[in-house]
Amino acid sequence: MTPLLRASRAVNSSKCLRLLPNIGLIPPRIPHIDGHFCSSHGFGTDSRSHSRDTAIDLSLYPPERIRNFSIIAHVDHGKSTLADRLLELTGTIKKGHGQPQYLDKLQVERERGITVKAQTATMFFNHPTPGHSLDPNESHTYLLNLIDTPGHVDFSYEVSRSLAACQGALLVVDAAQGVQAQTVANFYLAFESDLTIIPVINKIDQPTADPDRVKAQLKSMFDLDPDHTLLTSAKTGQGLEHVLPAVIERIPSPPGRSNSPLRMLLLDSYYDEYKGVICHVAVVDGVLRKGDKISSAATGQSYEILDVGIMHPELRPTGILLTGQVGYVVSGMRSTKEARIGDTLYQNKSIVEPLPGFKPAKHMVFSGLYPADGSDFEALNHAIERLTCNDASVSITKESSTALGLGFRCGFLGLLHMDVFHQRLEQEYGAHVISTVPTVPYIFEYSDGSKIEVQNPAALPSNPKSKLTACWEPTVIATIIIPSEYVGPVITLCSDRRGQQLEYTFMDSQRAFMKYRLPLREIVVDFYNELKSITSGYASFDYEDADYQKSDLVKLDILLNGQPVDAMATIVHTLKAQRVGRELVEKLRKFIDRQMFEIIIQAAVGSKIIARETLSAMRKNVLAKCYGGDVTRKKKLLEKQKEGKKRMKRVGSVDIPQEAFHEILKVS
């Protein structure tokens, strides 16, 4: 037993790590005793290179010994499990300690199997230096930054900026399911970012696994060499010993310049009650030290670096970040709204070129949020304020509705983003809300030359003074992968949703690949559910933003006793207005409670009523006290009741239950 190993074990048993001198950053070569994850190049949980009490000297890691990479995959293809195994393999976390999906911090991420927030973890790994040593047994410790990115297009504002901090990506594909829609979308995101892509076929331990078929799909779809594909099982550990060596040998080191002025890319931010805003950054050029003063290219504001370090996997102060390294900074920002994803941070009084590609968040789906109980507005306001501290991408403005009282108009990046926001409101802050019909931003042009962008249909005049001359609506490019036997029903569905077919090919004898241009409005509510239904759950679907296109649109109003309900206004295509209007009034008739007066439910386009339902009044039997007598007395009582009903109808208000809004979501 080496003296270093004996010292390490003695110190670990006595928990006196503070007495150990700094032994440097090249870890001892101790054989792995961790069953599945044995590797002659790795070091395991009993030989962690950097304990919590050992200083980390980042100056030992020049750019050529740094690799920045991400893992991208379709939902449920094993991305988070693979990330867990890599953290265990490098001794960053202990096997069996902590929770599964370690880098997915949010409850909604674990429940849905998706990644919402980009996370970063720094790992250290021993490996022979390729092409730099005559001795094949000589190895060096590499600093590996794993940037776990969201895979769904709704979070592409984080994905694209996170990929900008990487030089390579592991493209993970399920050995049984093969290439799916998000696999295609993620591949092209990485390809357009000029990343080195390493294909990884995961879950090869499954009985239905067919790696050869998946290799053929990767070759035909992306022209990826089957001989360079890694076969793994993140669950059992099979094949994992080849993953990190492939990362080191195939992915290039960061291209930054150490002697240039500081430039950092802001990857993510969140709010901590004790430290304030914590920003995840990638140092592209130069050096960042604690105490430095930096500025934001997006906002122009200046800050002082109060703390700086790496995520290993939690926050580990290092006092410095060097070129090519990824870590965190605490700079005294008061709100995450100051930390814009993709921003360039640089040293005060220096002149630098901002890093390319910074774009503000583009909101494509809008919805009203109101408390289920009108008296809970302040509680909802507090919950939204706390949640937006960690999600600055949501646009929030206060508004009021005649039907629902005080609430908020919220802008989201996409459908899943909106759904996740609602779920986090309920899970994390216990807020119960009513959501109005989701809508998308439209552009309307009038005869006087004016143009307006409409996010809330209630703000669009039903009878404008100027004639409407043109309308534009946003579209998406949808990718759909389905078993071959469902091609017919899917084509019919896309045609019903005003889709334009762009591509139609067969990936193999069993599955078809389709691309459609679809109006975003047509997929906002139930397109994915219907697609899953007609394909028995076997379809995969993803989409990306496309251009606006001209369309024939109208505003559809819902009237209760002649008064428009602003929260139920929506914008629909002219050809669908009558059908949607009829379905809406029929649904409302079922869910609105009867009152002491008659309720007339109407759907209108401008001044034209296109659908109507009547909810009869509840009536008291005013003739019950009449036992015979002149019929004129009975008529008098009935006329008096009728006049009373008219007065009640003029001044009475109609309460719309929460269930009615949920049903309207299904129709719209």
Binding residues for GTP: 73-80, 148-152, 202-205
Instruction: Tell me how far CA of residue 632 lies from CA of 628, 635, 642, in angstroms.
Output: 11, 5, 15
How buried is 42 (Cβ within 10 angstroms: 0-12 exposed, 13-18 middle, 19+ buried)? buried
How many whole angstroms separate alpha carbon 663 and alpha carbon 666?
Answer: 5
Strand partners, 367: 410
How many CB atoms lie under 10 A from the CB of residue 501?
12
User: Locate tokens 């009490």: which residue?
Assistant: 53
How many whole angstroms separate alpha carbon 317 and alpha carbon 326?
Answer: 13
How many CB atoms lie under 10 A from the CB of residue 253?
16
How many CB atoms lie under 10 A from the CB of residue 465?
8
How buried is 536 (Cβ within 10 angstroms: 0-12 exposed, 13-18 middle, 19+ buried)? exposed
Q: Pick from 657, 569, 632: which is nearest to 605 by CA?
A: 569
Instruction: Tell me how far CA of residue 359 lies from CA of 156, 201, 298, 389, 433, in angstroms.
Output: 11, 34, 10, 20, 31
| Count, residues in the chain | 668
72: amino acid identity, one letter:
I
User: Locate tokens 């239905």: which residue?
Assistant: 208
How many whole angstroms separate alpha carbon 304 and alpha carbon 135?
Answer: 46
Enumerate the known binding-site residues.
73-80, 148-152, 202-205
Query: Do 37 and 88 form a contact (C-beta atoms < 8 A)?
Result: yes
Query: Do 356 and 343 form a contact (C-beta atoms < 8 A)?
Result: no
Question: CB-side exposure of 479: number of CA atoms within 13 Å?
Answer: 18
